[in-house]
Structure 1
Amino acid sequence: MPHLDEAFLDSVDSLESLDSQGSLRALATAGAQVRRTVVAAREAGIDRLAGGDRPRSVLVAALGGPLVVCDVLDVLAEPGSPVPVTTRRQAPLPGWIGPLDLVIAVSQSGRAPGPLALAAEAARRGAALLTVGAPDSPLADVCARGRGVHVGITAPVPTSRAALWSLLTPVLMAAERLGLAECSDAVLDQVADTLDTRAEECRPSSESFVNPAKVIALGLAETVPLVLGDGDLTGVAANRAAAMLARTARMPTTHGALPDDAAQVVACFDGPFSGPSDVGGTGAGDLFADPFLDGPPAPQLGLLMLRDHPEVVREMPRSTFPPIALADAVVESARDAGVRVWEVEALPGHPVQRLASLVAMTDYVATYLALGLGLDPAISRHVTELRDRTS
């Protein structure tokens, strides 16, 4: 079983020496990313999207780290959007896309094959275009030829995962201006404040016994992690958390959302990775086990439960949100089975604020977990080798 050294996580110098690309520093800029991108989007002319008729449909194209942008817009627009919103990763562009539709393509480098090909085909068909990515990139060139709006992203971050809020903010601004979802510039300013709050709470200099991200990272290192959201919004955060744990911390992670995934999650509690039941449901196992005589402990399931703010949940109709009792029952079942459980509750506010509070926390968890395991969060040797073999 892997083990994290608490003293290492509490040493800022040790963290910086291993974090060669400044991943922790990049996470701390999330709030600044929102504020900077709001200005950049205005200067790029994003308000032009609302100058004509509302599009017949909106298609969002993203791949890899930016794919969460599609998930966020999907969950925000679904309840009240007057037009259908769909997502796509790769070409071909659906046959029904034409001059009456809007295509949004997102790629930090501006070179991702899927979004680039979809944007080029959309421009050829005369569809309206909004692209988000590096300036002076192939994506920016396609957008210019299609007379669209390109929001140039110049955030100095090591990966597209760390640039999430630079990539997501223009899409949220477009959704507001087109009436697809309510997310005003004032709300985005509050989102930036929420991200700053999390950055202060999870800063590297904060010791592990008071830093919630370090606490969770120390525990997850000794488990087979499972991330579960208690609804649609938290399900998006769970998906993002699983991707961050896998890509950043190299921890394979199952994820899901209630109510649909309740049964498959609970079924794992009596599987090979469930721990022995113990007093209090901490999953601590046998305190008197001798690792030299009894062998190393078996991997144990760990449940990271992401929960929406309770006041918001209580105000929602039961038809649109699973009852609190279901999430409580899953947590209770996990503890009875000896599964270690951590719960992260969203901060109050607008849906994007609540989502931001969960995403920021789990981003820090995954990054601290990687560093504690002796891994550089931004660099994977095997990913580099895969790119070399397929280039």
Structure 2
Amino acid sequence: MFDDSRLDDAEVLSAADQRLRFLAEAGARVRAEVQLSAESIESLAEQGMPRAVVAAGKGARLLRAVLESACPVPFVAWPGPGLPGWTGPLDTVVVLAQATGDAGAATAVAEARRRGSTLILTSIRGSQIEELAAGPHSTVLTTQSDDSLAGAVVLLQAMARLRLGPAVDGEEVALALDGVASRCSPFVDSATNPAKLLALSLADGTPLLWGGSALAARAARRIAEAIRRETGRPAFAADVDHLLPVLERTPPKDVFADPFESGDSSVRASVLVVDDGSDDASVIAERVRLVEEAERCDVPVESVSETQGSELARYASALGLGTYLAAYLGIALSDA
């Protein structure tokens, strides 16, 4: 059962200090990685435009969300193993390869080397992928952590240097994460802490997450992953068309039900909208459609709203808040 008293219990929060501290240090990790890679990025030689850019590995979808609309050449995200069959010497392959055990990234790096493609990747110093990447057409941006967001900032700055993507301000992203850490700190009580308030709101249901823009949708999927990992409960992120059937089949709420006796409160849905301030008419229309259907089905709707700053800063803020939410859900549901 969800025990809300644990969210403000100093002893309980102290026991969870390691994972909460990791979240609080997200901004510092971005600064550290940007500083470490600054010289390597500055030394990147400008070159002719490639025929296409292929983003490979587990971080491919995040890179696509930022780069696809701004890249001056065709851009393909390839999160699976290997590379598209047409990839060759005229193409640039970018890999966000910090995560250990990313077999897709390893095979993509090996294929890029074999085919003579220009290769740009992030990698922890001394990793197997760094060894695989070594070659005359490879640029390895060495990192000191496996934080995928910090690595993405570094890789996106390298792409901007090569005129293959928009400018990315690493300090703005770091400040956005610092702001989330301040607002969602375990020392901020449940009355004013946005992550704890969301945890309280979503405690009795199965979260259905939706984000309208490409980055908001990516944040929704990452938050759902964090909730599943922290709680062992189901959480789903999908497009509106895939969420509506779930809402339509949500059983009516029984106001007389005793959750301590029935034990089935988690079968009801709760909607969490990830709002990054997109003013796209289609995004707004989809959000209205989702919220109206949720209200018709008597399903509660909550939102993570981060609307200030650049697209990447808003993504970082939404993801940071959602990750804190997942951590507090796990803490309140834990028996430890």
The TM-score normalised by the length of structure 2 is 0.90
The alpha-carbon deviation at position 112 of structure 1 amounts to: 2.7
Match in the other structure for 2:241: 263
What is the alpha-carbon distance in structure 1 between the residues aligned to residue 69 and residue 141 of structure 2?
A: 27
The alpha-carbon deviation at position 18 of structure 1 amounts to: 4.3
> Which residue, 214, 224, 227 being the options, matches 1:245?
227
Q: Structure 1 regions of 5+ residues with no counterpart?
A: 277-284, 377-391
Write out aligned runs for 1:94-243 (5 A).
Answer: 94-109=84-99, 112-155=102-145, 160=146, 163-184=147-168, 187-243=169-225
- CA distances 1:298-352 after superposition (whole Å, capped 9, x unpaired): 421110011122xx51xx4x4xx43x34413421321232112111212312111
| Amino acid across the alignment from 1:201 | R
The TM-score normalised by the length of structure 1 is 0.79
**SS at the partner of 1:248?**
helix
| Amino acid across the alignment from 2:304 | V
What is the alpha-carbon distance in structure 1 between the residues aligned to residue 65 and residue 296 of structure 2?
A: 33
- Distance change in 2, residues 1:49/1:4 (3 Å): same
Q: Structure 2 regions of 5+ residues with no counterpart?
A: none
> Is 1:72 aligned with 2:62?
yes
Match in the other structure for 2:53: 58
What is the alpha-carbon distance in structure 1 between the residues aligned to residue 36 and residue 92 of structure 2?
A: 20
What is the alpha-carbon distance in structure 2 between the residues aligned to residue 47 and residue 96 of structure 1?
A: 30
- Distance change in 2, residues 1:366/1:135 (3 Å): same
Match in the other structure for 2:15: 17
Task: Decide whether the 8 Å contact of 1:59 with 1:85 is kept in 2.
Answer: yes
The alpha-carbon deviation at position 113 of structure 1 amounts to: 2.3
> Is 1:351 aligned with 2:311?
yes
What is the alpha-carbon distance in structure 1 between the residues aligned to residue 49 and residue 209 of structure 2?
A: 37
> Which residue, 5, 29, 32 being the options, matches 1:7?
5
What is the alpha-carbon distance in structure 2 between the residues aligned to residue 145 and residue 167 of structure 1?
A: 21
What is the alpha-carbon distance in structure 2 between the residues aligned to residue 98 and residue 329 of structure 1?
A: 44
**SS at the partner of 2:106?**
helix
- Distance change in 2, residues 1:295/1:166 (3 Å): closer
The alpha-carbon deviation at position 114 of structure 1 amounts to: 2.0
Task: Decide whether the 8 Å contact of 1:47 with 1:177 is kept in 2.
Answer: yes
What is the alpha-carbon distance in structure 1 between the residues aligned to residue 50 and residue 44 of structure 2?
A: 9
Match in the other structure for 1:366: 326
Task: Decide whether the 8 Å contact of 1:126 with 1:146 is kept in 2.
Answer: no
- Distance change in 2, residues 1:123/1:325 (3 Å): closer
